[in-house]
Amino acid sequence: MTAITEKMVVLEIEVPIACFRQSRAREYAETYPVPPPSTVYGMLLSLVGEMDRYKHCGTRLAIAMLTSGNALLSQPQKSTVIRTFRRFKKKDIHDPSNARPDYQELLTDVRFITWVDSGVDNSQPTLSERLQMAFANPSSINRFGGLCLGESRDLVNSVTLLPHNYQSESLQWLVQDENGLLTLPYWVDHVGSQGTRWQRYLILEPNKLSHPPESAWTIIQES
């Protein structure tokens, strides 16, 4: 079990609708069942107005899905929609061949908690410290656009700062496991796929652990 320190931030995040598109999905845009660490990291950078994603490499994240006592509500509900996707096959952005309808999976009522620890983040202030500053003095943050988790359409409904001694009856921890069935990115190469970094995870059954187990921590780094 990891000790809770003053440099650690605990946040509850709620997103009404989101799609965490699987990296290898093509015509059918499947979603991961949980937000990947890379996606959560990007949202946290947006929250504090940081555009350089290398700025806080070394930050550690732990993610746990909030569950309900009702087993049917223990995970976000999944649905499928048909929408227009753009793939640039022609230089003319308005060329009709660049747009086509495809199916996309959506998750509804995404609620999770993330623990943010400075880890080996050498920036001053660290990301966890900047998040604390953002809640203490929101007017000090210089940012633009809506706060999203994943696609720009997937707006975050709320981000709540929780106390360090926060406890929940039931959390589903995302933990690293070499035999896990989930392969999630913790660093994404937006130019190509060669630089994307992956880790294998599994989602634990709901339990009463109030602090992240050591296997729940993911270090955000490019290598």
Greater model confidence, 100 or 8: 8
Per-residue pLDDT reduced to its tens digit, 122-131: 999 999 999 9
> Quick one: pLDDT at residue 191?
63
The count of C-alpha atoms lying within 13 angstroms of the C-alpha of 52, restricted to the half-sphere facing its C-beta, is 6
Sign of CA dihedral 8, 217, 131, 13: negative
> Quick one: pLDDT at residue 81?
79
Residue 73 to residue 202: CA distance in whole angstroms:
19
Where b means 16+ CB within 10 Å and e means fewer, 98-125 reads: eeeeeebbbbebbbbbbbbbbbebebee
Contact (CB, 8 A) for 56 and 126: yes
66 has which bridge partners?
A: 171
Q: Is 37 left (phi over 0), alpha (psi -120 to 50) or beta?
A: alpha
Q: Which of 33-42, 53-62, 86-95, 196-205 has the lowest mean pLDDT?
A: 86-95
The mean of the pLDDT values for the chain is 86
Q: 71: pLDDT confidence band, cut at 50, 70 and 90? A: very low
31 has which bridge partners?
A: 21
Residue located via tokens 């929101």: 138
Task: Assess whether pLDDT exceeds 90 at residue 186.
Answer: yes
In this prediction, residues 188-211 reach a mean pLDDT of 81
Q: 73: pLDDT confidence band, cut at 50, 70 and 90? A: very low
Residue 69 to residue 206: CA distance in whole angstroms:
10
Burial (0-12, 13-18, 19+ Cβ within 10 Å), 47? buried
Amino acid in position 33: P
In this prediction, residues 42-50 reach a mean pLDDT of 97
Q: 167: pLDDT confidence band, cut at 50, 70 and 90? A: confident
Task: Assess whether pLDDT exceeds 90 at residue 187.
Answer: yes
Task: Assess whether pLDDT exceeds 90 at residue 146.
Answer: yes
In this prediction, residues 150-177 reach a mean pLDDT of 89
Name the CATH topology of 9-71+108-219: Alpha-Beta Plaits (3.30.70)
Element (H, E) at 48: helix 37-48
Residue 179 to residue 201: CA distance in whole angstroms:
8
Task: Assess whether pLDDT exceeds 70 at residue 169.
Answer: no
> Quick one: pLDDT at residue 52?
95
Greater model confidence, 91 or 49: 49
